[in-house]
C-alpha cells in the first residue's frame, strides 16, 4: 500500500501523540499545522481524544475552522463538551458556519440553553442561521432531528441545460450529491433524478419529461429508527424529508443512519448486559457505577426473594437438604432460557420479522422449551440418581427442571411481546430483568414440584 494520507492504515501511535505534545509545548505552530494537515479530520479527532484539554484546545484554535469544525464533530462527546466550554460563543459560531446544518444543529443542541442563543446570534450567514434554528425545533429522535437542509432541488419546469447550470451553484454547498429532488411550483416533492440521468439526457429536455416520479421519502415527524429501517430495506443512500403537505424540507444521508443503527445496537447490547446508560469502558468509575448499580440492585432483590422462598420451604425439606444444593442450577437454567427466548423475540421485533400471533409464539416456545428441558433433565436425572442414590430426589429435581425451563421460556417470550404491545422498548426485558424474575419463579416452581413429587 502507499503512504496515502487518510488510508485504512492510520494508526494512533504513542510516538505520534508524543510528537504532537512536544510540538505544542514548544509552540512550533507551523510544524504542528503541517503535521496535522496530513491527517483526515477523523484521525485528528482521535489524536485530540488522547491529549490534555489545554492541548486539544490549543490545536482547535491553531487549525482553521474548516478543519476543526469537522474534528469537533468526531470528538468523544464528553471531550467535545469540555472543549466547547473553553471557546467563546463567537469562536463556536465560526465553527458552526463551516458545518452542514444537521451537524451544526447537533453541536448547538449539546450546549447549555443560555449559550445556545448566544452562539446562534453570532452566526453571520443569515440563511444558515435560519435553517439551524428550524432544525433545532425538531425532536432529536425524529427525521427532522436527523435531516440536513443541504440538498439539490430542481423545479419540474426547468430544462436539463438550465438545471445543470443551477446545480453547479447549489452543489457547492452539498458535500455529496446523492439525488436531485424534483419539486413543483409549490415546493412539493414530486420525484427525483440522479446526476447520471441528467448527464445522459438531452440538454433541451424538460425536467418534467425525464424525472422519476417514484421517490421514497419520510415525514419529518417519523421516528429515526423507522427511517433507518426504510433506508436499509430499500438500500437508499439518501432520503428526502417532507412535511404533512409533502413540502420538501431536507434530506437524511446514510452515514447518519449508520450511526443510528450502531447506537441502537450498542444500546440493546448494553441493556441485555444490564447496563442502563450509554457508557464506555473509559468513562469514570462514578458514571460506570450509575450505569451498573441499578441492575445489580435488582439482582440483589431477586436474591433476597430466593432466600425468602428457600427459608419458607426449610421445614418441609428437613429430610432432603440436598434439594437446596440444586437451587443455583435451577436459577441459572431459568435465567439462561429466559434470556435466550427474550433475546430472540427482541431481535425479531427490532428487525420486523416476527409474524403470527402471540399465542402461536408461546406455543412454539413451550414446545421448544419442553424439548430442551427434557434433554437436559435426562442428564440431570442420571447425575442425581448416581450421586445421591435416591431415585425420588432425582425425579423431583429433573422433572421440576423441565417445568422451570418451560415457564422461563414462556416468560422470556411473553414479556418483550407484551412490552412492545404497550409501546415500551422490549429490549429492557432482556438481561437482568428476565434473569432476576426467572430466578425467583424458577426456585418457587422447583420447590413446589419437588414437594408434590416427594409427597411432603
The rounded distance, in Å, linking the Cα atoms of 145 and 137 is 8
Q: Smaller CB distance to a second copy: residue 4 or 113?
A: 4
C-alpha cell recorded at residue 68: 476543526
Residue 212 within binding range of a second copy, rule CB under 8 A:
no
Site string for a second copy, 392-431 (x = CB under 8 A): --------------------------------------xx
Residue 450 within binding range of a second copy, rule CB under 8 A:
no
| Torsional sign, CA 37, 42, 47, 51 | positive
| 3-state secondary structure (DSSP) of residue 273 | coil
Q: How far is the CB of 110 from a second copy (least distance, A)?
A: 19
> Residues with Cβ < 8 Å from 44, sequence gap 6 or more?
36, 59, 63, 67, 71, 74
Site string for a second copy, 224-253 (x = CB under 8 A): --xx--x-xxxx-x------x-x-------
Residue 269 within binding range of a second copy, rule CB under 8 A:
yes
Site for a second copy in 123-182 (CB under 8 A): 164, 167-168, 171, 176-178
The alpha carbon of residue 254 and the mean position of all alpha carbons in its chain are separated, in whole angstroms, by 14
Site for a second copy in 68-107 (CB under 8 A): none
Site string for a second copy, 303-342 (x = CB under 8 A): xx-xx--xx--x------xx-xxxxxxxxxx-xxx-xx-x
Which stretch in 19-27, 51-59, 107-115, 345-353 sits in contact with a second copy by CB under 8 A? Answer: 345-353
Reported as half-sphere exposure (CB side, CA atoms, 13 A), residue 338 has a value of 30
> Residues with Cβ < 8 Å from 341, sequence gap 6 or more?
365, 368, 369, 408, 409, 412, 413
Q: Smaller CB distance to a second copy: residue 137 or 386?
A: 386
Residue 199 within binding range of a second copy, rule CB under 8 A:
yes
Q: Look at the chain and count its residues.
A: 456
Pairing of strands 180-183, 152-155: parallel
Residue 260 within binding range of a second copy, rule CB under 8 A:
no
Site for a second copy in 43-72 (CB under 8 A): 50
Angle, CA 42 vertex, CA 40 and CA 48 arms, to 5°: 105
Residue 35 within binding range of a second copy, rule CB under 8 A:
no
Helix H or strand E segment including 209 = helix 207-210
Q: Smaller CB distance to a second copy: residue 111 or 408?
A: 408
Among 22, 273, 391, 424, binds a second copy (CB under 8 A): 273
Q: Smaller CB distance to a second copy: residue 63 or 427?
A: 427
For 28, 41, 289, the CA distances from 12, given in Å and listed in that order, are: 21, 13, 29
Site for a second copy in 279-308 (CB under 8 A): 279-282, 285, 288-289, 292-293, 295-297, 299-300, 302-304, 306-307
Residue 265 within binding range of a second copy, rule CB under 8 A:
yes
Query: Are 222 and 145 a contacting pair, CB within 8 Å?
Result: no
Among 8, 114, 124, 185, binds a second copy (CB under 8 A): 8
The rounded distance, in Å, linking the Cα atoms of 175 and 149 is 12
Amino acid at each position: 500500500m502507499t503512504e496515502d494520507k487518510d488510508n485504512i492504515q492510520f494508526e494512533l501511535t504513542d510516538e505520534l501523540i508524543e510528537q504532537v505534545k512536544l510540538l505544542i509545548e514548544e509552540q512550533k505552530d507551523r510544524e504542528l499545522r503541517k503535521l496535522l494537515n496530513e491527517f483526515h479530520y477523523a484521525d485528528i479527532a482521535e489524536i485530540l481524544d488522547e491529549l490534555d484539554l489545554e492541548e486539544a484546545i490549543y490545536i482547535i484554535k491553531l487549525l482553521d475552522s474548516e478543519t476543526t469544525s469537522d474534528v469537533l464533530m468526531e470528538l468523544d462527546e464528553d471531550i467535545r463538551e469540555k472543549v466547547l466550554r473553553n471557546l467563546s460563543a463567537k469562536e463556536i459560531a465560526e465553527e458552526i458556519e463551516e458545518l452542514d446544518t444537521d451537524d451544526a444543529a447537533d453541536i448547538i443542541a449539546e450546549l447549555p440553553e443560555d449559550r445556545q442563543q448566544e452562539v446562534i446570534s453570532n452566526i453571520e450567514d443569515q440563511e444558515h442561521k435560519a435553517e439551524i434554528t428550524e432544525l433545532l425545533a425538531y425532536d432529536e429522535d425524529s427525521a427532522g432531528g436527523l435531516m440536513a437542509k443541504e440538498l439539490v432541488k430542481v423545479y419540474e419546469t426547468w430544462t436539463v441545460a438550465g438545471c445543470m447550470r443551477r446545480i453547479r451553484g447549489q452543489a457547492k454547498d452539498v458535500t455529496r450529491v446523492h439525488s436531485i429532488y424534483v419539486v413543483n411550483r409549490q415546493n412539493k416533492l414530486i420525484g427525483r433524478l440522479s446526476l447520471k440521468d441528467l448527464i445522459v439526457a438531452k440538454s433541451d429536455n424538460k425536467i418534467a419529461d425525464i424525472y422519476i416520479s417514484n421517490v421514497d421519502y419520510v415525514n419529518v415527524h417519523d421516528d429515526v429508527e423507522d427511517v433507518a429501517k426504510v433506508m436499509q430495506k430499500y438500500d437508499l443512500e439518501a432520503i428526502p424529508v417532507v412535511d404533512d403537505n409533502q413540502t420538501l424540507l431536507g434530506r437524511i444521508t446514510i452515514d447518519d443512519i449508520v450511526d443510528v443503527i450502531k447506537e441502537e445496537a450498542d444500546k440493546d447490547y448494553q441493556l441485555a448486559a444490564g447496563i442502563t446508560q450509554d457508557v464506555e469502558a473509559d468513562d469514570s468509575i462514578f458514571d460506570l457505577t450509575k450505569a451498573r448499580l441499578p441492575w445489580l440492585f435488582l439482582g440483589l432483590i431477586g436474591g433476597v426473594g430466593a432466600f425468602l422462598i428457600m427459608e419458607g420451604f426449610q421445614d418441609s425439606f428437613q429430610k432432603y437438604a440436598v434439594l437446596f444444593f440444586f437451587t443455583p442450577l435451577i436459577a441459572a437454567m431459568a435465567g439462561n432460557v429466559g434470556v435466550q427466548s427474550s433475546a430472540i423475540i427482541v431481535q425479531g421485533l427490532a428487525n420486523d420479522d416476527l409474524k403470527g400471533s402471540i399465542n402461536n409464539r408461546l406455543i412454539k416456545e413451550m414446545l421448544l422449551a419442553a424439548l430442551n428441558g427434557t434433554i437436559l433433565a435426562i442428564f440431570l436425572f442420571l447425575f442425581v440418581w448416581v450421586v445421591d442414590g435416591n431415585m425420588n430426589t432425582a425425579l423431583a429435581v429433573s422433572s421440576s427442571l423441565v417445568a422451570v425451563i418451560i415457564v422461563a421460556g414462556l416468560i422470556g417470550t411473553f414479556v418483550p411481546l407484551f412490552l412492545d404491545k404497550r409501546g415500551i422498548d422490549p429490549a429492557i426485558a432482556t438481561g437482568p430483568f428476565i434473569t432476576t424474575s426467572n430466578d425467583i419463579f424458577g426456585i418457587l416452581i422447583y420447590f413446589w414440584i419437588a414437594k408434590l413429587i416427594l409427597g411432603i
